Amino acid sequence: MEFLATYIMRGRMQAIIVASTFAVLSLIFPPVSIVSSASVALVTLRRGATEGGYILICACLASVLLGFFLIGNYQALLIYGLTLWTPIWLISIVLREGRHLFLAVEIVIVIAAIAVLGAYLYQPNLAQFWQTLLNPMLKATLANSDSNVSATEITQFFTTTSHFMTGCAALSYVIVVLAGLFLGRGWQAVLYNPGGFKKEYLALRGQSELAIATLAILGTGLLFSGQVAEICWNICILLFVLYALIGTTILHCAFATLKQSRFLLPFLYITMMIIPQALIPAAILGLADTWLNLRNKIPNQTSV
């Protein structure tokens, strides 16, 4: 995708076209929203907050025009564009000024955790809200359920899921923001600093303050019940993924020192994507790395 990054950096109009076009396409195929947000990230990281903000505003206006002519609803696309691009613009400014990828990632996670807490303060009974939204899916599942699975088990599954949907929704948004940030940073490295993003990514490491807060939230979730525990577990979903990401970079460093690293590294990431249970030991590694600095204990890292 180097050609796309090169095209974006040719000028303002090119960046606006890519951001707005992929935003509209994401209404049909959501994953391409990452490319849209990455274009804003790339311009902001390379040319600064003012230029990135200009692209953001103009892309919103372009999306409004596209929305008006294509679907006859410009308000929805304006809100969608602001929701998609504003966070990536802000966090790109943080990364450009702070120059630490791990700090930008942690800030995204912390803001998402605060948003989860704020959602519970605004609407204490969020589980009931999610149950209402999931009811049509529950009815469809019950209508098409296998005879081997009882209606009680299916209903219980949906009821349990509703208690964690707030954290999952926040996590979905975090993944889009981080994916856009990583892609934008990767494009910047390809064009101006070859190998720079790989070095940043593999150096991801949590801060002790956040790790202590993570353990405190985890402990509170175990000790309490009811809404307090529910809030803690929803925040833990975000923190779990953060440390799973850090743990994966540690495993990457370890696998890269092996003779079969060419095959093992793709296998590592495929495993993480298709076997969620594999994220548990990765998250434990990521959390432990805060104090143990496990990368320094991996020999022969010159080839990483």
Backbone dihedral angles phi then psi of residue 110, each to the nearest 5 degrees: -65, -45
pLDDT band at 141 (very low <50, low <70, confident <90, very high): confident
Tokens of 266: 């793709």
Residue 111's pLDDT is 93
Contact indicator for 237, 281 with CB cutoff of 8 Å: no
| Mean pLDDT for the stretch of residues 177-201 | 94
Residue 120's pLDDT is 92
Contact indicator for 141, 154 with CB cutoff of 8 Å: yes
Tell me how far apart the alpha carbons of residues 23 and 39 are, in angstroms, rounded to a whole number. Answer: 11
Cβ-based neighbours of 229, under 8 Å, separated by 6 or more = 220, 221, 222
pLDDT in tens, 6-18: 999 999 999 999 9
pLDDT band at 304 (very low <50, low <70, confident <90, very high): low
| Mean pLDDT for the stretch of residues 287-294 | 91
Residue 71's pLDDT is 67
> 116-125, 179-188, 222-231, 264-273: which has the highest mean pLDDT?
179-188
Tell me how far apart the alpha carbons of residues 24 and 84 are, in angstroms, rounded to a whole number. Answer: 11
Tokens of 144: 């098409």
Tell me how far apart the alpha carbons of residues 270 and 257 are, in angstroms, rounded to a whole number. Answer: 19
pLDDT band at 301 (very low <50, low <70, confident <90, very high): low
Residue type present at position 72: G
Tokens of 164: 């964690």
240 pLDDT exceeds 90? yes
Residue 233's pLDDT is 95
Residue 89's pLDDT is 96
303 pLDDT exceeds 60? no
Residue 219's pLDDT is 95
Tokens of 226: 């009811």
Tell me how far apart the alpha carbons of residues 217 and 239 are, in angstroms, rounded to a whole number. Answer: 10
Residue 221's pLDDT is 93
Task: Report the percentage of the chain scoring pLDDT > 90.
Answer: 61
Tell me how far apart the alpha carbons of residues 156 and 140 are, in angstroms, rounded to a whole number. Answer: 15
Flag the least confident range among 72-76, 183-187, 238-242, 273-277.
Answer: 72-76
Contact indicator for 170, 234 with CB cutoff of 8 Å: yes
Tokens of 190: 């390809």
| Mean pLDDT for the stretch of residues 97-122 | 92
Contact indicator for 185, 101 with CB cutoff of 8 Å: yes
Tell me how far apart the alpha carbons of residues 286 and 293 are, in angstroms, rounded to a whole number. Answer: 9
Residue 110's pLDDT is 92
Return the exposure string of 96-126: e unless at least 16 CB atoms fall within 10 Å of the residue's CB, then b. beeeebbebbbebbbbbbebbeebbeeeeeb
302 pLDDT exceeds 60? no
68 pLDDT exceeds 70? yes
Contact indicator for 76, 24 with CB cutoff of 8 Å: no
Which residue, 115, 213, 121, is CA-closest to 171? Answer: 115
Backbone dihedral angles phi then psi of residue 161, each to the nearest 5 degrees: -60, -35
Tell me how far apart the alpha carbons of residues 302 and 304 are, in angstroms, rounded to a whole number. Answer: 6
pLDDT band at 77 (very low <50, low <70, confident <90, very high): confident
pLDDT band at 155 (very low <50, low <70, confident <90, very high): confident
pLDDT band at 115 (very low <50, low <70, confident <90, very high): very high
CA 239, 178, 184 angle in degrees (round to 5)?
A: 155
